[in-house]
Each structure stands twice: as C-alpha cells, then as structure tokens.
Structure 1
C-alpha cells in the first residue's frame, strides 16, 4: 500500500493531521518528516518492529548504527540520559531548539534496541514545529535518521515530492513541510570528559564553545 503524502505548514500545523500521524506512529508506522536541517525518517522508539523496518530500508544494522532521537525540550532529554554537568547543560540550553545533535550518556530508559552495544545516545530538539508537535502529542521521542540522496552533488534529499516518489512503498507517511535544507545538524559529543565536535553542520560552533 502506498504511503500518504500529508501537507503541513510549519507555522501552523493542523492538529487533526498531527493526531492522525501520531496514531500511525503508535501503530508501528514509519514517517518521513521535515526538521530545521534535513528531512528525517523515524518511528516510535519503543516499537522494535518499526526500528527494524527503518534498518531494512536504509540497509543498516541496529546494533552498529548511531541512531538519534527527537525530543520536545530539555526536560524530555533528562528522561533518557545520565545527569548532565553544568557546562554541558548550559551549552544545550543555549543551543536548543536548534540544528544540533548532542551525544550524551544514555540511561536505562533508552530502549535496548537503540542502546545495544552503545552507552551513548544522540539527542535532537529541532527548531521546527512539526517534529516537536509530533513528539509532544506522542508523549515520547521519535527515533530519527537522515534521508540521504544517492546524488554525487546533493548529499540530502530536499524536495518532499521527490522523497515521496522514492519512499512511497517503503514508509507509511511522508510529511510535506516544504523544501528541506541540505546541510545536516552539527554533532557534538558530550559523553566524555572533553566536549568534542564530531561533525560541523548547520549549527554554529563559535556561538556555543
């Protein structure tokens, strides 16, 4: 069965459409959605079958892949990570919501499929109403992985209609939130003694460090 293509406006997402998408997530569905950086593919972090489906679509192994998940805000983050030290907390408070992924020490609330050989988890709070509203309505984070393009020039797919054409028989919903960015988030590892920038992306490092 083909996926649904659902148009949502980031400035004022229709709550009935949000509720419908959340119901699909609760039933093990996979969605593609816009963020403040690139389009992402995701599911309910507690649905093992859905996580396995995403791994099949992307040709990756769950135990080896560095998954991240989208949280609504900083209070949401504390449910899944070990206590943050003051400098890290201050930096995250300054950065989020925004185009950053923070790698943090995971606690026991992180589902085992995400936490299998790793003691860390990537956390995103995008500056974008659609994914944050979905998380808020769902009541828990959404697993996220970027939609990449096979194109040699463009690393990430930006056109939701082209994304729909490619993934319509693989996922359950593609959200058209307008053209996405083609620059991913800045990844900052805060799980060790020293803060380390793993990838420079859309988020400015100078503003944080």
Structure 2
C-alpha cells in the first residue's frame, strides 16, 4: 500500500437508518476528487465514483473487470425518476413500469442518452439505472449533486464474509479512498430489467425485487 493510499484511506461508521450528512462529507469530498469509495446499498456493499470523473470510471471498470467493449452495461445511482429520464431513454410503457417499481431493489437497463459519459456506455450504448430505497444512497447522491457510478463489491465467486466492513477494508483498502461502514450486509442482488426501444421488457436477472406483472 502506498503512502498516499495510507494517508487518504478512512473508514466512516454511520447509522444506515439515520445517516448524518456531516459524517458523509469525507465520502462526498473523495468522490469529488475523482476517487472510488465503498458504500452500503439495499443489495449489499458497492463501489462508487462520481459520474463526471473519467478517472473514477476507469478505476471502477478495473475493479469490476468490465472493459469498454463489454456487453454488460455500467450502472448509475440516480436521485429521482427525472434523472432516470435524463440519462436513459424510456417509452411511455417503460416509464409506467419504472414509476411503479422504484425506489426499490431493481436495475433498469435503458438506452443511454447523450448526457451519459461515453466511458460509461456498453457496446450497445446502454446504461444501468438504480434508484434504491436506501437512505445512505439517497443522501450521497443528493450531497454529491450528480449520479454515482455504482457496482457491487461482491461478485458471486467471492466469499460472503466480504460483506463485513472489516473484511472489505482488508481486501479493498488499497483500492479505494474510504469505506462507509453501515454494518454487516448480506448481499441480495437486484432484479435487472432491460427495456428495448419498442418498450418490450426482458428479465436479465431475477433478484431481490419481485417481477412485475406487466
């Protein structure tokens, strides 16, 4: 671990049900510097960086091993349905489904608009969108003032103990600026729905969110 990493790394302990915005400011400052953090979500711990940070996007791609030509889209955390409509193209049918399901444990894959940085799009020019029902997520995006590029820390092949903040620090303390410690969170992946240009919906992954009756 380099001296710079040692100097910058921190672990912030917060109450995930009643987060204090002042305690989250070091995380927001790190995001504004273009650094990657780990933070709690409704589906487990996730890497995060500011949408506007090309350096952060590059780092997060490396951590997730998702290269720019990969078919899997990167995902952003937004503050509202309005933001989702700004960054993702939605038909009227798609908007009705999205409005009914969110906020919640879903990832919506939509065709990316011109407001999405090129570095975020997959080869099909799609982007994943999340609006979790989680206070830390909502507060982070609000304080940052822009969407958060996000990706789960624990892929399926990783041991579940990586959902413990101490283990996260042990494995990823050298990769990120800080960890927001919200206690142990058992990972439950989001349900992933893909909306095509015709308004048709494809279930890419059945996860925590119940499948809607459309």
Instruction: Give the TM-score, by structure 1 length.
Output: 0.91
**What's the CA shift for 1:56?**
2.5
Q: Secondary structure at the match of 2:58?
A: helix
**What's the CA shift for 1:174?**
0.7
Q: Mind listing any 5+ residue stretches in structure 2 that lack a counterpart? A: none
Match in the other structure for 2:24: 18
Runs of 4+ in 1 over 6 A off after TM superposition: none
CA distance in 2, matches of 1:88, 1:121: 15
| Structure 1 residues 78 and 149: CA distance shift in structure 2, 3 A | closer
Q: Mind listing any 5+ residue stretches in structure 1 that lack a counterpart? A: none
For 1:79-133, what per-residue CA distance to the aligned partner results, in whole angstroms no more than 9, with x for missing partners?
A: 2122x22221121111111000001111100001012633211000011111111
Judge conservation of contact 2:154–2:163 (CA < 8 Å) in 1: no
Higher helix share: 2
Match in the other structure for 1:58: 64
| Structure 1 residues 120 and 171: CA distance shift in structure 2, 3 A | same
Judge conservation of contact 2:163–2:185 (CA < 8 Å) in 1: yes
Match in the other structure for 2:202: 196
2:85 is aligned with 1:78: yes
CA distance in 1, matches of 2:26, 2:136: 13
Q: Aligned residue pairs: how many?
A: 206
Judge conservation of contact 2:27–2:180 (CA < 8 Å) in 1: no
Judge conservation of contact 2:36–2:48 (CA < 8 Å) in 1: yes
Once superposed, what is the RMSD of the aligned Cα atoms?
1.9
Match in the other structure for 2:138: 132
Q: Secondary structure at the match of 1:179?
A: coil
Instruction: Give the TM-score, by structure 2 length.
Output: 0.89
Q: Secondary structure at the match of 2:103?
A: coil
Judge conservation of contact 1:25–1:31 (CA < 8 Å) in 2: yes
CA distance in 2, matches of 1:115, 1:150: 23
Q: Secondary structure at the match of 1:144?
A: strand
